Amino acid sequence: MSDQPDVLILGGGSGGYACAFRAAQLGKTVTLIEEDKVGGTCLHRGCIPTKALVHAAEVADTVTHASALGIGATLDGIDLGGVHAYKHSTVERLYKGLQGLVRSHKIEVVHGTGRYGGGRTVHVGDRTITGTSLVLATGSQVRSLPGLEIGGRILTSDEALTFPELPKRVVVLGGGVIGVEFASIWASLGAAVTIVEALPRLVAAEDEWSSKQLNRALRKRGITIMTGTRFAKAVQDESTVSVTVESGDTIEADLLLVAVGRGPRTTDIGLTENGVVLDSRGFVTVDDSLCASQPDVYAVGDIVAGPQLAHRGFQQGIFVAETIAGLSPTSIEDSGIPRVTYSNPEVASVGLTEDQARERHGDVATVVYDLAGNGKSQILGTSGGVKLVRAGATEGPVVGIHMVGERVGELIGEAQLIVNWGAYPGEVAALVHAHPTQAEALGEAHLALAGTPLHSHN
């Protein structure tokens, strides 16, 4: 136990523990401060438990539609307690594995709430710990709206993960990634779902084509979508919640999920009081090396403005550890980080949207390959497509890939290599994609953008 480690990390989520592991690999002594459990939001209240619910929902959908495949199966009901047990066991297995890795890397974990004390110092309990370098990785927290009190039948994603009842009617306030994923889960489990989104379209950070594809698919599943609609108020009693929008229309439901985004956890921990500069939204201001305004103080993950993705924080943690060790790691700009919305259908993307590409490059070319032409997608019974965005009207690299459809998130690995390595359509078109796979859709899209489409009508 040392009060002067080489690397002191405040926060044990994806960014914090990745930084700890890599720093330990590079021979540094590491102390990690975590007020809850190592793994953070992603493992315990975010990515993993929600995707366990997504998989349970997929199973329910499969059983519900089994007769279309000639399989005699019926959905007798949802044992929500059993679903939560499955979700919990998945989280616990991963948590035990993570604890083993912490021990193997000889990382000291200090449990408690840390408070920044200036310089490279953090106070936790009765200890004062000063690192040669300090990494801030305190993560994010759910946001609400002014005057909207969380509790009872008004939930955030944190409470929704463990809510003991399966609702029959749900209003989801927010059509971003979290809202769309929970809407999809509840619809698969039999609920009538309404999404209320103030912006003109769902998943507004995605390409407009992706939003339209998702909107169409969710409506086909029976989900009511109210975009361009502002929330006014919510009133609840013991069994229901009444949601009113600005037009005066009221929606009655069993639950209201507030999914209006997440904010950085940077308040009330001594940052601004001790010289760490935050922007107007509360994110830590950093340079290209993720160094904050104080010497040898870094920030990673959701407290750095940009997409709030666990794998972004993970990569930033590695980047900072290598920077501290004197290496020269290569950074990846935020647009090059893959993004997946785990709804049904999935939305996956990497790189620039068409609008962003036009703003940056001027002339662009795009192509959409419809999954109706892909054998594996037809077997799965999914619709959607692959959209490519190229810099330049007649030649140039692929700078954006956008996909909608069942399981397309599994294609994002190849997609991010194409974009981040600056591949040209003809180079990808020359590669061989196994048949029958959905990966063929990526190949076909590049054939089309290279001017040699095979499975399309001239």
Return the active site residues.
Answer: 435
| Six-digit token string for 99 | 């604890």
> 174-188 in b/e burial notation, b at 16+ Cβ within 10 A?
bbbbbbbbbbbbbbb
> Please, which residues have CB within 8 angstroms of residue 178's CB and are 6 or more apart in sequence?
50, 157, 259, 261, 262
Pick from 234, 172, 232: nearest CA to 203: 172
> Please, which residues have CB within 8 angstroms of residue 278's CB and are 6 or more apart in sequence?
266, 271, 272, 284, 285
Pick from 58, 342, 47: nearest CA to 188: 58
d(CA 323, CA 325): 5
Which residues are registered as beta bridge partners of 33? 10, 110
> Please, which residues have CB within 8 angstroms of residue 402's CB and are 6 or more apart in sequence?
206, 207, 209, 210, 347, 348, 349, 353, 386, 387, 388, 389
Virtual torsion, Cα 412, 413, 417, 423, nearest 10 deg: -50
Pick from 113, 112, 96, 92: nearest CA to 104: 96
Burial class (CB in 10 A: 0-12, 13-18, 19+), 224: middle
DSSP structural state of residue 409: G
DSSP secondary structure of 280-312: TTSPBP--TT-B-SSTTEEE-GGGSSS---HHH
d(CA 317, CA 139): 12
